[in-house]
């Protein structure tokens, strides 16, 4: 890796990764040489979440298969530790609302306090996706609605739903 290469981590629960997340990732790729999409989960809690972390990773891999300079991983420790592991000095987070901003700015400040080298970059949601949240998408999935509306077209979400049945 070139020392000048700009790598960013895009961390999240991604339960599941939606078209809103995909849109943020595509925007991030215009700013960075490489973006690591990282599924964060708590390894001590069993049975948490809708999709298990490995399925979340598979969904993201399907979403990004046509993109270059993207890696997908999962992690259980602090995001700043993952950044150090990848030599990343940037964290990407998406912003939909002022509520997102309030929540995100506190986390960004805590991460900066722990590692002064890190910068969090906020990317605004595109207007057409700004209402999409993983919570709403999970609800649609649980009630057998047409969830494909909330994923990039290359993701065949029905295949992954079968995995949890
Ligand atoms: P977390 O559980 O860590 O908050 P999420 O998986 O819900 O993670 O989201 C990861 C990031 O993507 C967060 O910064 C969140 O604000 C952002 N995000 C979620 N949905 C959208 C969307 N529709 N458009 C833009 N950003 C989004």
CATH pick for 7-164 out of 2.40.440.10, 3.40.50.620, 3.30.420.40, 3.50.50.60: 3.40.50.620
**140-154 mean pLDDT:** 95
- Nearest Cα to 116, choosing from 80, 165, 152? 80
Ligand 1 pocket check: which of 91, 93, 124, 139 to mutate, most ligand atoms within 8 Å of Cβ? 93
Give, in degrees to the nearest 5, the angle at Cα 132 between 24 and 20.
20
134 as an active site residue: the answer is yes
pLDDT top residue among 2 and 158: 158
Rounded Cα gap, residues 159 and 20, in angstroms: 20
Ligand 1 is surrounded, with C-beta below 6 A, by 12-14, 18, 20-21, 24, 93-94, 96, 100, 104, 125, 129-130, 132-134
Let me know: does 14 contact 21? Beta carbons within 8 Å: yes
Q: What is the pLDDT of residues 5-30, one digit of tens each?
A: 999 999 999 999 999 999 999 999 99
56 as an active site residue: the answer is no
Q: What is the pLDDT of residues 68-104, one digit of tens each?
A: 999 999 999 999 999 999 999 999 999 999 999 999 9
pLDDT the model gives residue 43 = 75
pLDDT band at 59 (very low <50, low <70, confident <90, very high): very high
1, pLDDT greater than 70: no
């Amino acid at each position: 890796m070139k020392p000048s290469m700009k790598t960013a981590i895009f961390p999240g629960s991604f339960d599941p990764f939606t078209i809103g997340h995909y849109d943020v990732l595509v925007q991030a790729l215009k700013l960075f040489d490489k973006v690591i999409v990282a599924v964060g989960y708590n390894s001590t809690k069993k049975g948490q979440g809708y999709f298990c972390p490995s399925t979340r990773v598979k969904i993201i891999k399907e979403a990004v298969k046509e993109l270059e300079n993207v890696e997908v991983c999962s992690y259980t420790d602090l995001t700043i530790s993952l950044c150090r592991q990848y030599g990343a000095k940037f964290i990407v987070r998406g912003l939909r609302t002022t509520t997102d901003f309030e929540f995100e700015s506190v986390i960004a400040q805590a991460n900066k306090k722990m590692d002064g080298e890190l910068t969090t970059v906020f990317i605004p949601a595109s207007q057409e996706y700004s209402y999409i949240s993983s919570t709403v998408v999970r609800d649609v999935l649980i009630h057998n609605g047409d969830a494909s509306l909330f994923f990039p077209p290359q993701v065949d979400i029905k295949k992954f739903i079968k995995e949890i049945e």
